[in-house]
Chains A and B, each alone.
With several copies, the nearest count.
Chain A
Amino acid sequence: MNFADDPAEAGFRAGLRAWLRDHLDEHREGTGYESAESVERTLRWHRALAEAGYVGLSLPAAYGGHGLPDVYEGILNEELATAGAPASPPIGHIAHAVADFASEELKARVLPGLLGCAEVWCQGFSEPGAGSDLAGLTTTATADGDRFVVNGQKIWTSGAMWSDRCLLLARTEPGLARHRGLSMLVVDMRSAGVDCREIVLASGSREFAEVFFDDVSVPAANLVGERGQGWRIAMHMLAYERGPADMGWVGRLGRVLAEAREDVRTGRVAADAGLRLRLAEAAVDVEVLRWHVARSLAGRGGGSDGAAGSVDKLLTTRVEQNLYRVVSDLAGPSFVLGAPGPFADYLWSRAQSIYGGTQQIQRQIVAQRVLGLPRA
C-alpha cells in the first residue's frame, strides 16, 4: 500500500511543476469556446503542452505518445487543476480508440496531428434520440464502394465548431440490431455536407454543438477497426475517458474547496458555525474522493471496465453537488447577484449527474454489472 508517488512519478510531477512555473503565465488569459480568440488561446495552450511532452502520456511512443502508465495522465490533470491552469486536451480516449484499433495506415495518417494538437478532434456519439440509450443511435454510414456515405445528426459534440476531424459512431449494418450494427469512422469535418449548429447552455457556455451530416462522403480507409466493431471500441474508450480525467476533476474541486476555506479563514466571507461545519463535511468528501480516484487509477493496468468508472462517476457527482451547495450558501446573495460565475459553476455541477450517462443509468450499470442484480 503506497499512496505516495514512486520516484519516477515524483520526478515527473516535479518536472511538470517546474514547467508550469515557467510557462503558465503565458496562458493566464485562460481557454474557452466562446469566440474565435478564446478558441485560438485554447489551441495555443494545447500545442504548448504537446510540445513540452505532456500530451498522449499513456499512448505508445511509436505514435507520438510517451508510453507511460495511466497514473501519469492523472498526475498531469491533478497538477494542472491544482495550479489553476487550463485543462489538458481531452483526447486520450480518442487517441486510444485509434491507436488500439485502427490500421497502421490510418494511425500513421492521423495520430501525429491528434497527439501534436495540430488538428482538433471531436467525438460524435450522442444523438437527440439517443442520449442515455446510446445503442439506439440512428445516424447511418452506408457502405458504397470505397467509401461510406453518412447521414444523420449528432448532439452534445464538444468543440465541433472548431474541429478538423470527428470520431464518429454510426450505423453501418442496417440488418443488425442496436449495438451490433455500429462502426467507428474518422470523418473530416471540412467535408461537404457537414453542418454545425451551436448549443448555448443555461450556464452561458458555448462549447457544444449539434452536427448534421447530409450525404457526407468518408473514405473506407477511415474505418477504425472492423465493421460492426463500433460498440466495442466505444466501450474501450469509456475506460480512458474517466480515470485520469477524474484526477483533474478532484484537483478542480480541491481548488474550489481551498478557495472557500480561505474565504472563511480570512473573513472575506461571513460563515456561521453551521456553514463552517458543512464546509468541513465537504472537505472530508473531497479528500475521500481524492484517495478513491487515486486507488481506481493506480489499481488498473491499462484500461478498466466501464462499470467501475460508473462507481467513480457517482461518487464524484455526489461530492461535487454537495460541495457546490455549500459553496453557494457561503456566497449568499452574491451567488445570484453580480458576476455570473458562481451560478454558472453551480449549473455545471448539476450537469454532472446527466452528462456521460445520467445518475439513474450509472446506478443501474453498477447494480447490474458490478453487484450482479437481475435485469427487469
Chain B
Amino acid sequence: MEIELTAEQRAFRESCGKLAANLAARWHRGRGPHDIDPPTPGDDSWSRVVDSGWLAIGLREENGGAGASVVDLTVLAERLGYHAVPAPVLGAVIAAEQLQTWNAPPGLLQDLAEGGLRLAPALDAGLRTLAGAAENSLAWDAAGAEAAVIPATGVAHALGDALPFADPTRAVRPLGAPSGLPAITLTPPGEQALARLGAFTLSLLTADLLGTMQAALDAAIDHARTREQFGAPIGSFQAVQQLLADGHVLVEATRSASYHAAWAVDALPGAEALRAARVAKAFASRSAVEVCESAVQVFGGIGMTWEAPAHIWLRRAHTGRTVFGDEHHHQGVIADDDPHRS
C-alpha cells in the first residue's frame, strides 16, 4: 500500500491551483442573480487552459495525449472545484474521454486535446448518465462548447441557450439539431470499457466536490478565526469547533474515497472500478452538501448574501451532487446489486 500523492503529483497540484485561481479571478459573479457573468471563458482564458495541457493529459499518447493517470486528472479536478473555476474543463475532458472510449479517430481527439474543437458531454434529461440519444438530452459544463456528440449515432448536435441552473459556474444547454460538424465514425466499446468510462466520470466529479467542500471549509475556518462575537473569535466557541471538526472529518474521508476511486479506474477491472466510483460519488455528494451547509452556518448572516462566496460553494456542491447521479441514485444501484427477495 502506498496511499499518497507523489512529489510530481504535488507539484502538478500546485501549478493547477495557480492557473485555477487565475481563471476564477477573471470571472465575476456579479451583484446578484440578475447580474451574472456567463461561465464562458474568454479567448485568453481558454488559451491558457489549452496551453496548460489540461485537455490533453488524460488522453492516450496515440491520440495526442500524455497518458496521465486518473489520479493525476483528479488532482486537477480537485483544484478546479477548490477555486470554483467556471471554465468548462471537466466537460471537455469527459467528452474527450467518452469519444476515446468509443474509439474515435485520433485526429478528432487531437483537435479536442488542442482545444480547437470544443465539445461538451450529453446527459439524459435527469442529468444522471451519459445520454444514449439526443432527444431531451442536455449538455453539461457546456459554456462555449460548439456541440455535443451522441456516440450511438456519431452525430454532433448544436447546443441551445443555457438553461437556468443553480450553479452559475457551469452551463447546461439543450441539444438541438445536428451541428455542421461531419458525423464521426465510432465503434462501441465493450462492457468493461463502458464501466471504466462511468468510473472515470464519477471520479472526476468526486474530486470536484472534494475541492468544493475543502474550499468552503477553509473559508469557514478563516472566518471563524477572525470574526468576533461576545469579545472572542467565534472559532474559539466549542459549538463552532464541533461543526468545523465534523466538516474536516468529512473532507478527509472524501479525500480517501476520491483517491481510491481514481486509483481504481486505472488499477481494477471496469466493473470494480465503477463500484468504487459509485461509493466515492455517493459519499462525496452527501458530504459536500453537509460541509457547505456547515460553512454557511459558520459564516452566519453574511454567508446568506450574494456577495459572500459561501453560496457559490453550496451551489456547486448541490449541482455536482446531482450531475451523474446523487447519493440516492448510486446507493439505489448498490442496493439492487444484492439480489433480494422481500
A and B touch in the complex (CB under 8 A): yes
Binding site for B on A (CB under 8 A): 1-6, 9, 71, 126, 129-133, 136, 155-156, 199-204, 206, 261, 264-267, 269-272, 274-277, 279-281, 283-285, 287-289, 291-292, 294-295, 297-299, 311, 314-315, 318, 329, 332-333, 335-340, 343, 347, 350-351, 353-355, 358-360, 362-364, 366-368, 370-376
A-side contacts of B3, CB under 8 Å: 1-3, 294-295, 298-299
| Candidates B127, B221, B231; contact of A371 at CB < 8 Å | B221
B248 & A371 in contact (Cβ 8 Å cutoff) = yes
Q: How far is the CB of A75 from chain B (nearest CB, A)?
A: 9
Binary contact track B217-234/A, C-beta < 8 Å → 1, others 0: 000010011001111110
Q: Confirm or deny: B79 has a beta carbon within 8 angstroms of a beta carbon on chain A.
A: no
A373 & B244 in contact (Cβ 8 Å cutoff) = yes
Q: Confirm or deny: B7 has a beta carbon within 8 angstroms of a beta carbon on chain A.
A: no
Q: A156-B301, A279-B335 are in contact. Are A1 and B340 (CB under 8 A)?
A: no
B-side contacts of A283, CB under 8 Å: 279, 331, 334
Give Cα A115–Cα B274 distance, bound, in whole angstroms. Answer: 43
A-side contacts of B187, CB under 8 Å: none
B244 & A5 in contact (Cβ 8 Å cutoff) = no
- Considering the complex, which residues of chain B in the window 313-337 have a beta carbon less than 8 Å from any beta carbon of chain A? 314-315, 318-319, 322, 326-328, 330-332, 334-335
B322 & A360 in contact (Cβ 8 Å cutoff) = no
| Candidates A279, A350, A360, A371; contact of B293 at CB < 8 Å | A350
A277 & B244 in contact (Cβ 8 Å cutoff) = no
Interface of B is mostly: helix
B334 & A364 in contact (Cβ 8 Å cutoff) = no
A336 & B165 in contact (Cβ 8 Å cutoff) = yes
New contact pairs (17) apart from A298-B4, A371-B245, CB-CB < 8 Å: A3-B263, A9-B1, A132-B229, A202-B303, A204-B34, A275-B328, A283-B279, A287-B279, A292-B252, A311-B249, A315-B253, A318-B249, A336-B165, A337-B164, A350-B304, A371-B221, A374-B233
Q: Confirm or deny: B196 has a beta carbon within 8 angstroms of a beta carbon on chain A.
A: no
| Candidates B228, B256, B264, B319; contact of A288 at CB < 8 Å | B256
Q: Confirm or deny: B71 has a beta carbon within 8 angstroms of a beta carbon on chain A.
A: yes
Q: A155-B301, A280-B334, A288-B253 are in contact. Are A133 and B2 (CB under 8 A)?
A: no
B253 & A289 in contact (Cβ 8 Å cutoff) = yes
B-side contacts of A126, CB under 8 Å: 301
Q: Confirm or deny: B300 has a beta carbon within 8 angstroms of a beta carbon on chain A.
A: yes
A363 & B241 in contact (Cβ 8 Å cutoff) = yes
Give Cα A332–Cα B236 distance, bound, in whole angstroms. Answer: 38
A363 & B257 in contact (Cβ 8 Å cutoff) = no
Give Cα A354–Cα B280 distance, bound, in whole angstroms. Answer: 29
A-side contacts of B280, CB under 8 Å: 288
B328 & A288 in contact (Cβ 8 Å cutoff) = no
Give Cα A203–Cα B166 distance, bound, in whole angstroms. Answer: 10
B306 & A202 in contact (Cβ 8 Å cutoff) = yes
Beta-carbon nearest neighbor of B243 in chain A: A360
A264 & B340 in contact (Cβ 8 Å cutoff) = yes
Binary contact track B1-36/A, C-beta < 8 Å → 1, others 0: 111111000000000000000000000000111100
B-side contacts of A155, CB under 8 Å: 301
B-side contacts of A9, CB under 8 Å: 1
Q: Confirm or deny: B307 has a beta carbon within 8 angstroms of a beta carbon on chain A.
A: yes
Give Cα A323–Cα B21 distance, bound, in whole angstroms. Answer: 36
B-side contacts of A1, CB under 8 Å: 2-6, 69, 71, 259, 262-263
A136 & B311 in contact (Cβ 8 Å cutoff) = no
Beta-carbon nearest neighbor of B331 in chain A: A280
Beta-carbon nearest neighbor of A5 in chain B: B1
B-side contacts of A338, CB under 8 Å: 163-164
B340 & A276 in contact (Cβ 8 Å cutoff) = yes
Q: A337-B164, A339-B164 are in contact. Are A133 and B340 (CB under 8 A)?
A: no
A363 & B263 in contact (Cβ 8 Å cutoff) = no
A288 & B283 in contact (Cβ 8 Å cutoff) = yes
A-side contacts of B5, CB under 8 Å: 1
Beta-carbon nearest neighbor of A332 in chain B: B126
Give Cα A203–Cα B34 distance, bound, in whole angstroms. Answer: 11
| Candidates A272, A299, A315, A347; contact of B332 at CB < 8 Å | A272
A-side contacts of B318, CB under 8 Å: 335-336, 343
A261 & B338 in contact (Cβ 8 Å cutoff) = yes
B334 & A295 in contact (Cβ 8 Å cutoff) = no
Give Cα A199–Cα B32 distance, bound, in whole angstroms. Answer: 9
Give Cα A364–Cα B249 distance, bound, in whole angstroms. Answer: 12
Q: Confirm or deny: B305 has a beta carbon within 8 angstroms of a beta carbon on chain A.
A: yes
Give Cα A204–Cα B33 distance, bound, in whole angstroms. Answer: 6
| Candidates A130, A266, A337, A364; contact of B245 at CB < 8 Å | A364
Q: A292-B252, A314-B249 are in contact. Are A373 and B241 (CB under 8 A)?
A: yes
B236 & A376 in contact (Cβ 8 Å cutoff) = yes
A367 & B245 in contact (Cβ 8 Å cutoff) = yes
B-side contacts of A366, CB under 8 Å: 245, 248-249
Q: How far is the CB of A231 from chain B (nearest CB, A)?
A: 15
Q: Confirm or deny: B246 has a beta carbon within 8 angstroms of a beta carbon on chain A.
A: yes
| Candidates A6, A363, A373; contact of B221 at CB < 8 Å | A373
B-side contacts of A265, CB under 8 Å: 338-341
A-side contacts of B246, CB under 8 Å: 314, 363
A-side contacts of B328, CB under 8 Å: 274-275, 277, 329
Q: Confirm or deny: B125 has a beta carbon within 8 angstroms of a beta carbon on chain A.
A: yes
| Candidates B238, B245, B282; contact of A284 at CB < 8 Å | B282
